[in-house]
Amino acid sequence: MSLRALITAREIDIAAELQRVGRSGAVASFVGHVRTDDGVITLTLEHHPQMTETALVDLVRSASERWQLEAATIIHRVGPMVAGDAIVLVATASPHRAAALDACAFLIDRLKTDVPLWKCETLEDGSKRWVEPRSSDAERVQLWA
């Protein structure tokens, strides 16, 4: 079983990561992009130097204990990025689709509520605003309690 979880300041190579996760019977994935439609020029992801990557590693390990997985990957980008850039990639591989799909959803849902990362938007006028968490994320993660 192959678990891969890391942060990167570089562009995420989605095709390479999906290749890497392999050719199990079922492969599921999620990609989050910087939105193109709300006036944000730059999105900056701040992370915790000691905690962020460890939290991602703990998450994939939790998924592997809960579902029968052959591989699980989380790549989260940090630093500045622009509209259309991939912020995060999650991919899971299992002999069966229920495990792959559920583990994939679990990983992104829990990432949004548990992993130390903070988004800051730079707008057209140069001003900055810190993104606030959504109550819908806190509600949705209860699915996996």
Partner 1 sequence: MASLTLSYFAWVREAMGQPVEQVDLPDSVSTIADLIHWLAERDAAGAAAFADPSRIRAARDGVMAQPDTALAGAAEVSLFPPVTGG
Residues that bind partner 1 in the complex, under the rule CB under 8 A:
32, 45-48, 50-51, 54, 76, 87-88, 108, 111-120, 130-133
Q: What is the DSSP secondary structure assignment for residue 48, as one 8-state letter?
A: -
Cβ 67 to partner 1 shortest distance, Å: 19
Residue 52: count of CB within 10 angstroms of its CB: 19
Task: Identify which of residues 80 and 116 has a Cβ nearer to partner 1 in the complex.
Answer: 116
Task: Identify which of residues 21 and 34 has a Cβ nearer to partner 1 in the complex.
Answer: 34
- Cβ-based neighbours of 67, under 8 Å, separated by 6 or more: 92, 94, 99, 100, 102, 103, 106
Task: Identify which of residues 16 and 51 has a Cβ nearer to partner 1 in the complex.
Answer: 51
Cβ 50 to partner 1 shortest distance, Å: 5
Task: Identify which of residues 87 and 101 has a Cβ nearer to partner 1 in the complex.
Answer: 87
Q: In the structure encoding, which two tokens stand for residue 145, read together?
A: 């309690």
Contact 6, 75 (CB under 8 A): yes
Cβ 9 to partner 1 shortest distance, Å: 15
Cβ 19 to partner 1 shortest distance, Å: 23
What span, in angstroms and rounded, lies between the C-alpha atoms of 7 and 54?
Answer: 10
